[in-house]
Amino acid sequence: MARIFITGSSDGLGLMAGQRLAREGHEVVLHARNTDRGEVARRALPNAAQIDIGDVVTIAGMRSVAEQANAIGHFDAVIHNVGIGYREARRLETRDGLSHLFAINVLAPYLLTALMERPDRLVYLSSGMHPGGIPDMDDLQWTRRRWSGSQAYAETKFLNVLLAFGVARHWPAVRSNALEPGWVPTRMGGPGAPDDMAAAPVTQAWLAVGDDPATRVTGRYFYHQREKSPEPSTRRVGLQEALLDRCATLSGVPLP
């Protein structure tokens, strides 16, 4: 039995992955942004070992979630599922002065990775939109450019792959991989999304606990349990390091 922590798991793909892992007999810890969402998650997965509460839109909230997770002990795997979509009509700013989209989709998985005890496996959710999201590394917060919600979202998903690959290089003993679950009809994806909902949570659960040779890798990108080539620029060490440096500066916490 493995112990798995899944961020952003009060509904959608995070909850579905948690339900799948719990059915397989694993110890699952969920995460919700507030107590109301936590109660929803508890009803959906009554046998969850714990539900951590914290809104990762702020650095303080990210730190709180990491502290709650560390209080439980070592996790075999962490699935960084938390994220918001591409429908923000304008740039929203957090109390930390960050882009709302960047804070939740990028800085939260970075800071949780940096603050939590190292698990054996890390799984980061990206998107099939990431190839169109090669970012402006000098304007990750979208303070200079005219806002585009879809482009900003695609950039965060590109950055998720950079993060997974950068962590894989820095922590070779940890299996750190990224995946795209497909465009599915979740609250984020919308009702018209065409991909298979049943298949969407499978790969992240498989990467978290699977024993077959295909899961014994690091620094790879997956789609429906098969390796897929990510946008080639995600392999650039300079971009990976630039992201890690910027996240360390913004959060005040370097990757150990």
Q: Residue 238: which CATH number?
A: 3.40.50.720
pTM passes above 0.75: yes
So what's the pLDDT on residue 200? 87
What is the extent of the structural domain holding 17?
3-251
The Cα-based distances of 149 to 5, 100, 131 in angstroms read 29, 11, 16
Q: Is residue 256, in this structure, part of any structural domain at all?
A: no
Q: Spell out, as residue ranges, where the chain has pLDDT lower than 70.
A: 183-197
Q: How many domains does the chain fold into?
A: 1
So what's the pLDDT on residue 213? 97
Q: Is residue 174, in this structure, part of any structural domain at all?
A: yes
So what's the pLDDT on residue 249? 99
| d(C-alpha 53, C-alpha 78), whole Å | 16
Point out the residues that are catalytic.
153, 157
Beta partners for residue 52, in sequence order: 31
Give the pLDDT confidence of 39-94 residue by residue, as tens digits. 999 999 999 999 999 999 999 999 999 999 999 999 999 999 999 988 899 999 99
Q: Residue 228, SS3? A: coil
Q: Please enumerate in sequence order all residues whose Cβ is within 8 A of that of 154, keeping only pairs 6 or more positions apart, or say none.
A: 86, 127, 129, 130, 132, 133
Q: Is residue 144, in this structure, part of any structural domain at all?
A: yes
35-44 vs 12-23: helix crossing angle, rounded to 10: 40
Q: Residue 232, SS3? A: helix
